Amino acid sequence: MELQKITPWLWFDGQAEQAAEFYVSVFQQARIVNVSRFPEGEAGEPGTVMVVEFELFGQQFYGLNGGPNFKPNEAVSFMIRCEDQAEINHYWHSLTTDGGEESYCGWVKDKFGFSWQITPRRMDEIMGFDNPEKSARTMHAMMQMRKLDIATLERARDSE
């Protein structure tokens, strides 16, 4: 396997393995690749999980149990480009269930605090960016939403 040029590392306070298992359950084509444990004499409790390597749709991620010093925030998010409304609904439900939080304009925060943008793959077309009036109507509709609704956005774009 060829290594990615850029690989996200996610910081956890002891939940890296649980998070990787959760993400693998949410996403298709996902797997846990490797789990490394703290050796004797290192910062963590010997034998507990230090790093989890996992893949989502072939994209490599690492989860590091680095302790309580840092928390995720909205300054960094992951975009999921969805083919249709059913896929948007799946990710929205999966990522907000059991402690996740809904936000606005297609954003959610999962139960580990990481932010995800759940958007249609054809967002540029739906937003009508080639026409300022259509784009403004669609943007106005989107700003009222939590989970994006493709049909509602298209109606707003196409209204007069």
Averages of pLDDT over each 10 residues, the chain, 160 residues: 86 97 96 96 88 96 96 96 98 96 97 98 90 94 97 93
- State the pTM of this model: 0.92
**pLDDT at site 2:** 67
- How far CA 109 is from CA of 5, 23, 78, 83, 96, in Å, comes to 26, 13, 10, 21, 7
**pLDDT at site 1:** 55
**pLDDT at site 43:** 80
What domains lie within the chain, and their CATH numbers?
A: 1-70 (3.30.720.100), 72-160 (3.10.180.10)
Please say whether the beta carbons of 122 and 112 come within 8 A. Answer: no
Residue 62 and residue 43: Cα distance in Å, rounded?
A: 18
**pLDDT at site 44:** 80
Please say whether the beta carbons of 12 and 71 come within 8 A. Answer: no
- What token pair was written down for 31? 């797997």
Alpha helix locations (H) across 1-112? 16-26, 85-96
